[in-house]
Amino acid sequence: MADKKTKLELTWIGKENRPKLEPRILIEDPGKSYHAKYRSTPRPLGEGMGVRADVFDNKLIFGDNLLALKALEAEYAGKVKCVFIDPPYNTGSAFEHYDDGVEHSLWLSLMRDRLELIKRLLANNGSLWITIDDNESHYLKVLCDEIFGRTKFVANIVWQKRTTRENRAAIGSSHDHILLYTITEAVEWKTHRNLLPSTDEGFSNPDNDPRGPWRSIPFSAQGWRPNQMYKIETPTGVILEPPKGRCWGATEETFNTYMKEGRVYFPKGGDGKPRIKTYLGEETGLVPNTLWLAAEAGDNQEAKKEAMSLFPNDEAFSTPKPERLLKLVLSISTNPGDLVLDSFAGSGTTGAVAHKMGRRWIMIELGEHCHTHIIPRLKKVIDGEDEGGITKAVDWKGGGGFRYYRLAPSLLEKDKWGNWVINKQYNAAQLAEALCKLEGFIYDPSDTLYWMHGHSTESDYIYVTTQTLTHEQLQALSDEVGENRSLLVMCSAFKCKTDTFANLTVKKIPNTVLSKCEWGHDDYSLQVENLPKEPITEDREVDLFGEDE
Ligand SMILES: C[S@@+](CC[C@H](N)C(=O)[O-])C[C@H]1O[C@@H](n2cnc3c(N)ncnc32)[C@H](O)[C@@H]1O
């Protein structure tokens, strides 16, 4: 039999089409950026991240998230600790703030392209959380398995989004899914996530233990382990074997230690199977589980109330998530100072919660509610005027700030003869920054050397100019760069052979960058018109051009 390698995969129309994205630069609009006047909680001297402090270095990006994620790639690859996204669920009902009714194939392609970029942005110990309902959740799971790997799947959390009955459907939908993926192996992520604060739920003192209230777990485990198969004698003299199909919870030596510590509880008046006690105050935290009830994580109604109290006169955003849900996600996955990203920001819940919890954030939103909802909401958070959501629980008083960015237009545009030329809207600094991104250099212009616009290593630099460079100018550049450094010169034209100077690589813009990506493509968003055409198979040809024609 031929050695044919196959893999399990989900297919859809247009899966093989991948956009060749232009790495745009981000342009700040300082008029829309917002900062508190004072630093209110300065980071203590000598303390690093992990200590709560005002966060000013946040980003709100207005635009399509595919181009925006690409724009972030150069600076943020491997740096994001938690990505939370709440994408359009593709339910087929047009929501007020965005068109949610897109075809399944288009939706999968759009999600795939965005998830691949998100994966690159995530840190090794980072995690991705996606809320989704039954319409696409199972397709999304298979898609994520393909992108991240099945061993990176941590959990499908069931979040109770509704507590009231839904009578219109055959079976009312009262939960959403939250898919959780990691970059590291899912089993290893245990060492990176945080435990949840312990509660005193389930603690009591039925045996009047002098050490106070306790709760217990059975002292047995699944399976058969030879050193955990001993006999235990209860205080009433009954000899116990491990329960059927199980072994004891630890070795005999460990059990004897528990006995000496007075931690073993035999229920049923001393005859029952042993349980191990944990006393109140001893637990370091609770392991999160896969069922998140509304009482703990909030529900859609709570989110709507939060939105209405933020914008009482305005129309509230229609599909927000409750702040308590985000607080749970960020408590488990991040620490103060960590970077959180939401590329489907909506009304800005993720940024608001991250801000109040002392995390850094980046949010991307293409809808006009970026201006009508996110900016006013975050201003209230910064000014300490948002009293709702998790404000009291985390004792948020205000502070910090954010910068507002939009995506630069495409670097190249067509002139009236249909030739690609450098976009006239670009100034010299923006051109240099854009070409650094395109060529994989870090934009870092020098204050003293005019030709040092960026670097790729400690000795490899880039210089960008719209001039035509003469042989003399290139000679002068080559002399300044010297023997131990190299320089990529990107210019409109040059008058010499390309290999004249050993330390210079000279290239013409736009000619050399033309094939690098798709130019002038501004809209990769959820538009049905973007759906690729279904390939015409022989069967379909008969249908289309058959006898009826
Ligand atoms: C369900 S809402 C998110 C709600 C958010 N979790 C909240 O609490 O307010 C999804 C958001 O994604 C935005 N969106 C959809 N496609 C986008 C795209 N291509 N780029 C950026 N944002 C997009 C929509 O405009 C919408 O605001």
pLDDT per residue over 118-176, tens digit each?
999 999 999 999 999 998 999 999 999 999 999 999 999 999 999 998 888 899 999 99
- In angstroms, what is the span from residue 366 Cα to ligand 1's centroid? 7
pLDDT beyond 50 at 536: no
pLDDT in tens, 475-496: 999 999 999 999 999 999 998 8
Residue 434, beta-bridge partner list = none
- Where does the pLDDT of residue 311 fall: very low under 50, low under 70, confident under 90, or very high at 90 and above? confident
The residue whose C-alpha atom lies closest to atom 12 belonging to ligand 1 is 344
Ligand 1 and 352: CB distance under 6 A: no
Ligand 1 and 100: CB distance under 6 A: no
Ligand 1 and 320: CB distance under 6 A: yes
Ligand 1 and 346: CB distance under 6 A: yes
pLDDT beyond 80 at 527: no
* Mean pLDDT of the region 96-116: 75
The residue whose C-alpha atom lies closest to atom 2 belonging to ligand 1 is 346
Ligand 1 and 300: CB distance under 6 A: no
Report the atom number in ligand 1 closest to the C-alpha of 347.
Answer: 9
Ligand 1 and 344: CB distance under 6 A: yes
Question: For the residues of 313-348, what is the DSSP string, one character each?
Answer: SSPPPSS---HHHHHHHHHHH--TT-EEEESS-TTT
By most ligand atoms within 8 Å of CB, the mutation choice from 59, 84, 98 for ligand 1 is 98
Question: For the residues of 153-222, what is the DSSP string, one character each?
Answer: EEEEEEEE---S---SSSS---EEEEEEEESS-TTGGGGTSPPBPP--TT-B-TT--TT--EEEEESEEE
Q: Which pTM does this prediction carry?
A: 0.84
Quote the pLDDT of residue 500. Answer: 87
- In angstroms, what is the span from residue 35 Cα to ligand 1's centroid? 24
Structure-token pair, residue 333: 């996955």
Q: Which residue has the higher pLDDT, 540 or 277?
A: 277
- In angstroms, what is the span from residue 186 Cα to ligand 1's centroid? 27
- Between 35-49, 400-414, 518-532, the lowest mean confidence (pLDDT) is in 35-49
Ligand 1 and 377: CB distance under 6 A: no
Task: Collect all residues with Cβ–Cβ distance below 8 Å to 312 and sequence separation of at least 6.
Answer: none
